[in-house]
Each structure stands twice: as C-alpha cells, then as structure tokens.
C-alpha cells in the first residue's frame, strides 16, 4: 500500500503546496461544476484520514487529469491513466473506506465495550468474506475496483471501419457468427487438404445494425461500414440517426458539398453493461 499512498500524497501536495496551482485547481473545479471544491491533506497522526484522501482523489481523478493536461503537466498525473496502478488505488480506496466505516461505528456516545467488540468481530468476518470473494474474482464489495476494466475480456472490443463487405457476405457472417468454413481451394497457394474452418469467440454485434447504405456513389450503393462490439460486455445506449435519403441524393451522389466522403459516418454511444 505504501507506494500507492506515497503517490497519492505526492499528487495532493503538488496541488496544495503551490499557491498558484492550488487556486487554479479550485477555480477549475468550480468551472466544471464539480461536487467537491478541493482535495484533502493526508495526516500521518490520523492514519484513517488516508481513506478520506483516497476517496476524494478517486472522485476527482478525471478532473485532476484534465487539470494537469490543461497545464501541460501530464507527468504529474500519469499514474491516474495507468490501469494497473489505478486498480491498486481503487482496491486500497475500497478497503480504507470499509475501515473508515468501522471506525465511525465504534465512535459516539453510549457505546459499551461489548458493542465495540461486536463491531470488530463482525469486521473480521467481513474481511474473511472479502478474501474469499476476491479469490473468486468477485468484486461485489469493491465497487471502485469493479469499475475498472482490467483486461481485454472485461473491457470488451470495439471493431469498426470500412469492411468493404455487404451484409450477409462471408466477412460479415464470420464476424457476427464467429465461424466460417472455407473450401479447400480458397487459397490456391495452400497445401492444406480439406476444408478450413475459421473461428473466433468475440461474441460481436453490429451497433448500428445494417443500414440500407453507408456508401452511396453513382456506381455503387450499399452498406460497407460497421461498428462491431462485444455484446456480452458492452451495450448500445444511443445511435445517431442516418441522414435522410433526400439529403444524401441532393447532389446526386457522394461525396457532395454537404458530405465530404462517399461513406456516411456511423455514430453511436457504447457503455459497459452493469454487472
């Protein structure tokens, strides 16, 4: 934990210890209408303050990155853009917040020693539960860590562009179904005998479906462009409608005065599915 704590404390000190930086950072948070107006100092004497410091930096991490990029101090916050470091930071933030919750339960009036002892025993059982869940990659009680895509399988795939392939073509069918059987003579230079089966396990879908056309010229009209995505991990939340046919054909074909390319852009919003 110490390397993560040292990095967070250094980041906070970089913001807080320089008067101009600090004022500009507070002004920046105000300008982006952040819920919080500042980061918090860490105090060694009150070691539980680390949880509050971590949580505040976590909540402001995107704003901190934007602020340092704007000031061209990208090196100061590069760890906040490192998924591996961010995973460690998220884990310790979750853990420290659990410890802070325990600390709050043990405070206040009318607390007897048996009440405090009960809280401690319950937290010990909770730690055993956490250990068992983490061993099974169950992050139910580590929401911040769970929000970070840690690998290709969990973050999903977005595969898009001009595939130069119509719907129901071999390329399209292969990407959508995950399987395509090639005849023995599909590659004349191949020495392989018998059919060849191409397979993948990406579980893809087309975010914008198959429009009537994405390429419209005087010689050809058809759908050649797609945004494929991992349908088990991602979901489509919004799709920008295609332009009306009258707009596309206003100057006979594409490109035109209004469309600089002979391809029409596909635009959508994808988000991770809630676990």
pLDDT digits (tens, 9 = 90+) for 102-153: 888 888 888 888 888 999 999 888 888 888 888 777 888 998 888 887 544 4
Dist CA 148 CA 1 (whole Å): 18
Note the pTM of the prediction, 2 decimals: 0.52
State the Cα–Cα distance between residues 167 and 262, nearest whole angstrom.
Answer: 18
Q: Per-10-residue mean pLDDT for the chain, 275 residues long? A: 84 83 87 85 69 88 88 81 87 90 85 89 88 81 82 69 94 91 59 69 93 95 96 93 94 92 96 79
* Alpha-helical regions (H) of the chain: 2-16, 19-31, 49-70, 83-105, 113-135, 143-146, 152-155, 170-177, 245-248
Q: Match 């920008």 to its residue by tokens.
A: 240
pLDDT at site 253: 92
* Cα–Cα distance, 148 to 142 (Å, whole number): 11
Q: For residue 13, what are the contacts with CB-CB under 8 A and spacing of at least 6?
A: none
Give the pLDDT confidence score for residue 136 in this predicted structure.
76
Q: What is the pLDDT of residue 28?
A: 85
pLDDT attached to residue 224: 97
With 0-12 / 13-18 / 19 or more C-beta atoms within 10 angstroms meaning exposed / middle / buried, residue 75 is exposed
- Looking at residue 163, what is its pLDDT? 94
Cis peptide before 255 (omega within 30 of 0): yes
- Predicted local distance difference test score (pLDDT) of residue 151: 44
Question: Can you tell me the distance from the alpha carbon of 169 to that of 159, in angstroms, rounded to the nearest whole number?
Answer: 17
DSSP string, 3-71: HHHHHHHHHHHHHHSSHHHHHHHHHHHHHTT-S-S------TTSTTHHHHHHHHHHHHHHHHHHHHHHT
Percentage of the chain surpassing pLDDT 70? 90
């Amino acid at each position: 934990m110490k390397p993560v704590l040292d990095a967070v404390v250094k980041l906070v000190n970089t913001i807080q210890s320089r008067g101009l930086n600090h004022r500009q950072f507070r002004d920046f948070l105000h300008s982006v209408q952040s819920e919080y107006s500042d980061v918090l100092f860490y105090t060694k004497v009150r070691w539980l303050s680390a949880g509050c410091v971590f949580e505040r930096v976590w909540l402001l991490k995107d704003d901190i990155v934007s602020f340092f990029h704007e000031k061209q101090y990208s090196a100061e916050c590069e760890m906040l853009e490192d998924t591996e470091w961010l995973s460690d930071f998220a884990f310790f933030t979750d853990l420290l917040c659990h410890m802070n919750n325990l600390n709050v339960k043990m405070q206040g009036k009318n607390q007897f020693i048996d009440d405090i002892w009960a809280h401690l025993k319950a937290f010990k059982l909770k730690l055993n539960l956490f250990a068992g869940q983490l061993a099974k990659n169950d992050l139910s009680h580590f929401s911040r860590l769970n929000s970070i895509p840690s690998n290709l399988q969990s973050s999903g795939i977005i595969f898009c562009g001009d595939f130069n392939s119509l719907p129901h073509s071999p390329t399209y069918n292969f990407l959508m179904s995950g399987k395509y059987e090639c005849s023995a003579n599909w590659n004349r230079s191949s020495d392989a005998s018998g059919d060849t089966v191409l397979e993948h396990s990406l579980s893809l879908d087309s975010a914008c479906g198959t429009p009537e056309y994405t390429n419209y010229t005087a010689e050809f009209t058809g759908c050649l462009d797609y945004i494929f995505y991992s349908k088990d991990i991602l979901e489509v939340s919004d799709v920008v409608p295609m332009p009306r046919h009258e707009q596309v054909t206003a100057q006979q074909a594409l490109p035109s005065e209004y469309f600089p390319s002979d391809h029409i852009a596909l635009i959508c919003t994808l988000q991770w599915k809630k676990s």
